[in-house]
Amino acid sequence: VYILAVETSCDETSAAVVRDGREILSNVVSSQVETHKRFGGVVPEVASRKHVESITWILEEALTQAGVQPQQLAAVAVTQGPGLVGSLLVGVVAAKAFACALDLPLIGVHHIAGHIYANELVHKLEYPFMALVVSGGHTELVHVESEGSFRIIGQTRDDAVGEAYDKVGRALKLPYPGGPHIDRLAHEATEAVTLPRAWLEPDSYDFSFSGLKSAVLAVLNQANMKGQPLAPEAVARGFQDSVIDVLVEKAIRAVRKFGAKQLLLAGGVAANKGLRTALETRCRHEGVPLLAPPLSLCTDNAAMIGAAAFLKYRRGQFAALDMKAEPQLKLEGWSV
Ligand code: ATP
Ligand code: MG
Ligand code: FE
């Protein structure tokens, strides 16, 4: 079964052809990072205009690279939400037009379900599993009892972890997005600035990163006022250590408490080398199987949408052609 998948929820325009929800035949990703860099963040109006410019050739390129004829497709899948409404709309409209013209079923996919099921493109999943979702807009621990049944057991109360990375990146005058630069600086560091960890209540699986971000800004300001600026490497290292400590500890506790067979890492921040290494070490110690997608499948891409879409395809959960883009789409109850 060949599914053509489309992803335009933020600032990546992407189309992919995925076979049986597992095998990637093509995964074309066009990032708008260069366009948004000079604004220090994604500008929604600019993002949707860029999606409009790219979507047609990206769709054609995905089919060409896959060597698949439109007539061979079984369905067209698209990210329905969450995301920027103007960006989502471009993908949704393109997918509908394609499905309509070729008389194919349409499948609406939750973006975070896509990030989670990116793991299925490279690993064998075993239920129940715990997913640690860390991305630009989300920080969540998701208990997945059985296929497509999502329960959020903890989430951020303020900033998402990727958002915190990008804000600290801006404070350190690093190019947008700051995440990968902080990761690199943290590795080059020979010392670390001491920063707080937000554990919240002892039994809570929630996260909080805005206090940490404020603490970073405060130490930077103090050091500058004293005329003794801090090494960006030491700040990056202190920040990254604090983030990783909390993520790793809460993820492992959640795995234990819910009897999960595997821990899955998902989302753009899953590309973070420090986080991957820390989780690998801890999981090996604890005897917990850890699954993470390769770096190219961590950040936004359409292949992950094709993987998640296959769950719905098998159950015949198709969308009507009046399906709407849902900027606030909820993960729980997305697919039952
Ligand atoms: P969401 O998936 O929540 O809708 P998004 O799609 O904008 O948000 P992703 O593409 O999943 O986010 O991830 C982008 C985020 O990942 C950015 O905040 C970026 O800084 C961060 N990121 C990417 N690589 C790394 C890295 N190596 N270390 C830390 N953060 C990283
Ligand atoms: Mg992006
Ligand atoms: Fe994403």
Predicted local confidence at residue 242, as pLDDT: 98
36 has a pLDDT exceeding 90: yes
Predicted local confidence at residue 201, as pLDDT: 96
Predicted local confidence at residue 50, as pLDDT: 96
Residue 159 Cβ contacting ligand 1 at under 6 Å: no
Residue 232 Cβ contacting ligand 1 at under 6 Å: no
Q: How far is the CA of 140 from the centre of ligand 1 (A)?
A: 14
For residue 29, what is the enclosing H or E element?
strand 23-31
- List phi, psi (to 5°) of 173: 60, 35
CA dihedral 176, 180, 182, 186 (to 10 degrees): -170
Q: Cis omega (within 30 of 0) on the bond before 177?
A: yes
Q: What is the mean pLDDT of the segment spanning 24-49? A: 94
Q: What is the mean pLDDT of the segment spanning 196-206? A: 97
ipTM surpasses cut 0.90: yes
Binding-site residues for Fe cation, in ranges, read 111, 115, 300
Q: Using 50, 70 and 90 to split pLDDT, how confident is the model at 134?
A: very high
Residue 290 Cβ contacting ligand 1 at under 6 Å: no
Residue 111 Cβ contacting ligand 1 at under 6 Å: yes
Residue 21 Cβ contacting ligand 1 at under 6 Å: no
Answer whether 323's CB lies under 8 Å from 93's CB: no
Q: Using 50, 70 and 90 to split pLDDT, how confident is the model at 230?
A: very high
Q: How far is the CA of 50 from the centre of ligand 1 (A)?
A: 19
- List phi, psi (to 5°) of 244: -65, -45
Q: Cis omega (within 30 of 0) on the bond before 128?
A: yes
Answer whether 21's CB lies under 8 Å from 87's CB: no
- pLDDT > 70: percent of the chain: 99
Q: Ligand 1: which atom is nearest the Cα of residue 178?
A: 20
User: How many other CB atoms sit within 10 Å of the CB of residue 53?
Assistant: 13
Q: What is the pLDDT of residues 233-272, one digit of tens each?
A: 999 999 999 999 999 999 999 999 999 999 999 999 999 9
Q: Ligand 1: which atom is nearest the Cα of residue 267?
A: 11
Q: How far is the CA of 144 from the centre of ligand 2 (A)?
A: 25
198 has a pLDDT exceeding 70: yes
76 has a pLDDT exceeding 80: yes
The closest residue, in CA terms, to atom 30 on ligand 1 is 179
28 has a pLDDT exceeding 60: yes
For residue 23, what is the enclosing H or E element?
strand 23-31
Long-range interactions of 51-55: CB distance < 8 A, separation 24+: 51/8, 51/13, 51/87, 51/90, 51/91, 52/90, 54/13, 54/30, 55/6, 55/8, 55/13, 55/15, 55/90, 55/91, 55/94
Q: How far is the CA of 178 from the centre of ligand 1 (A)?
A: 9
Q: Cis omega (within 30 of 0) on the bond before 82?
A: yes
336 has a pLDDT exceeding 60: no
Q: Using 50, 70 and 90 to split pLDDT, how confident is the model at 333?
A: confident
Ligand number nearest to the C-alpha of 187: 1
DSSP calls for 106-159: EEEEEHHHHHHHGGGGTS---SSEEEEEE-SS-EEEEEE-STT-EEEEEEBSS-
∠153-196-136 over CA atoms, to 5°? 50
25 has a pLDDT exceeding 90: yes
The closest residue, in CA terms, to atom 18 on ligand 1 is 162
Q: What is the pLDDT of residues 169-196, one digit of tens each?
A: 999 999 999 999 999 999 999 999 999 9
Average pLDDT of every residue of the chain: 97
Q: How far is the CA of 135 from the centre of ligand 3 (A)?
A: 6
DSSP calls for 270-322: GG-HHHHHHHHHHHHHHT--EE---GGGTSS-SHHHHHHHHHHHHHT-PBPTT
